[in-house]
């Protein structure tokens, strides 16, 4: 039996168990929700929102960890079990999770509350690149203002799920959004300090389009929005020409994407007598190590903004907005 068929067999068996438990009376359910409940999330950025808003009311389990590409991630039997045992599930959406989306749709069909936080955002805000026609860019968290809308979406969903604690969630959300507004201002001012001619961000894949729009920096990715797409020789050569023409001094690798294409840019530029360095490692589709500052959404964005600013000639505090940056480059 293939792994996929086995997963769906496990899914069917566990669904049957859930159906039996639906006889639970409403008072029992209310008690469980009010006291403590289990939340499962797909990516760290979504999980961090839930942790900030729900705090001790919820036990949050995140499926896709640091350095893992959600575009390519294949759910395991254990993941399916986590989803089916959750009281409520949050995922990013807009096709970010790829192969995991089918499982989430099946779980939702059984009546479990499942929310895609980016799909609750006003569509007027979302980007729809020409090469991604018919689909929105899922990397909303790269614009802090956009991710604030995701916080509001999570808060509204938790209020619906657990109305008895709505005031608690509203207060936590308000405090978190206040911090996010400070982060947004920090990113904006840091990027603005980069000389205008040097505001060119070249990365491994197109995860930074919202960042570019929000903070006024030109963004160019080697691969497409999804890392399932392959960068061709023509794409790399076109970017090399841009790097030479615009005198780009630094390009960036990502923790969740292989660096080989970025190295090809550097080597190609060198053949045209243009020296380019790696400006640093950015967090794109995954946050940093769990338990570290960069393993939070604020730390992730603080790191990115600070590293980009330093590498491209701008001014920012050495250890970031809060002086907490700890991530060490491996190269």
Dump pLDDT digits (tens) for 157-204.
Answer: 999 999 999 999 999 999 999 999 999 999 999 999 999 999 999 988
- pLDDT of res. 239: 86
- pLDDT of res. 22: 45
Residues with Cβ within 8 Å of residue 199, at least 6 apart in sequence? 191, 216, 217, 218, 312
Dihedrals φ, ψ of 138, to 5°?
Answer: -85, -10
- pLDDT of res. 146: 95
Residue (of 132, 137, 144, 55) closest to 92 by Cα position: 137
- pLDDT of res. 132: 66
**pLDDT of 217 higher than 80:** yes
- pLDDT of res. 255: 87
- pLDDT of res. 174: 98
- pLDDT of res. 330: 63
Q: How far apart are CA 289 and CA 167, in angstroms?
A: 32
The rounded mean pLDDT for the chain is 86
Of 164-178, 247-261, 315-329, the range with the highest mean pLDDT is: 164-178
Residues with Cβ within 8 Å of residue 257, at least 6 apart in sequence? 69, 204, 205, 223, 227, 284, 285
- pLDDT of res. 198: 95
HEC profile of the chain: CCHHHHHHHHHHHHHHHHHHHCCCCHHHHHHHHHHCEEEEEEEHHHHHHHHHHHHHHEEEEEEECCCCCCCCCCCCHHHHHHHHHCCEEEECCCCCCCCHHHHHHHHHHCCCCEEEHHHHCCCCCCCCCHHHCCCCCCCHHHCHHHHHHHHHHHHHHHHHHCHHHHHHHHHHHHHHHHHHHHHHHHHHHHHHCCCHHHCEEEEEECCCHHHHHHHCCEEEEEECCCCCCCCCHHHHHHHHHHHHHCCCCEEEEECCECCHHHHHHHHHHHHCCCCCEEEEEECCCCCCCCCCHHHCHHHHHHHHHHHHHHHCCCCCCCCCCCCCCCCCCCC
> Strand pairing partners for 282?
254
Q: How far apart are CA 176 and CA 183, in angstroms?
A: 11
**pLDDT of 216 higher than 90:** yes
Residues with Cβ within 8 Å of residue 204, at least 6 apart in sequence? 221, 222, 223, 252, 253, 254, 257, 258, 259, 261, 262, 284
CATH class of 3-185: alpha beta
Domain boundaries, the chain: 3-185, 195-311
Q: Who has greater pLDDT, 12 or 304?
A: 304
- pLDDT of res. 64: 93
Q: Who has greater pLDDT, 13 or 64?
A: 64
Tokens for 161? Answer: 């799920």
Q: How far apart are CA 293 and CA 28, in angstroms?
A: 38
Q: How far apart are CA 88 and CA 161, in angstroms?
A: 8
What's the CATH architecture for 195-311? 3-Layer(aba) Sandwich (3.40)
Confidence of residue 289 (pLDDT cuts 50, 70, 90): very high
Mean pLDDT of 219-228: 64
Domains 3-185 and 195-311 equal at CATH topology level:
yes
């Amino acid at each position: 039996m293939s792994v996929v068929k086995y997963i769906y067999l496990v899914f069917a068996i566990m669904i049957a168990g859930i159906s039996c438990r639906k006889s639970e009376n409403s008072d029992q359910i209310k008690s469980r929700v009010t006291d403590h409940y289990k939340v499962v999330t797909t990516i760290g950025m979504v999980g961090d929102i839930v942790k900030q808003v729900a705090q001790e009311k919820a036990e949050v389990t995140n499926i896709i960890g640091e350095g893992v590409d959600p575009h390519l991630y294949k759910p395991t039997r254990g993941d399916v079990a986590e989803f089916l045992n959750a009281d409520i599930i949050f995922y990013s959406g807009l096709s970010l999770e790829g192969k995991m989306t089918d499982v989430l749709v099946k779980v939702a069909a059984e009546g479990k509350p499942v929310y895609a936080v980016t799909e609750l955002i006003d569509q007027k805000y979302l980007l729809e690149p020409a090469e991604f026609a018919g689909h929105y860019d899922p990397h909303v968290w790269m614009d802090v203002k956009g991710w604030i809308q995701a916080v509001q979406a999570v808060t509204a969903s938790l209020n619906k799920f657990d109305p008895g604690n709505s005031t608690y969630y509203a207060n936590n959300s308000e405090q978190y959004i206040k911090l996010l507004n400070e982060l947004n201002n920090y990113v904006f001012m840091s990027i603005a300090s980069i000389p205008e001619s040097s505001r060119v961000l070249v990365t491994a894949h197109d995860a930074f389009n919202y960042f570019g729009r929000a903070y006024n920096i030109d963004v160019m990715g080697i691969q497409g929005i999804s890392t399932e797409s392959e960068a061709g020789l023509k794409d790399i050569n076109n970017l090399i020409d841009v790097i030479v023409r615009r005198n780009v001094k630094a390009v960036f690798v990502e923790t969740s994407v292989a660096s080989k294409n970025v190295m090809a840019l550097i080597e190609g530029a060198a053949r045209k007598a243009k020296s380019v360095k790696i400006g640093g490692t950015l967090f794109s589709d995954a946050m940093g190590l769990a338990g570290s500052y960069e393993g939070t959404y604020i730390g992730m964005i603080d790191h990115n903004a600070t590293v980009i600013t330093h590498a491209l000639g701008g001014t920012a505090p050495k250890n970031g907005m809060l002086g907490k940056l700890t991530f060490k480059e491996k190269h």
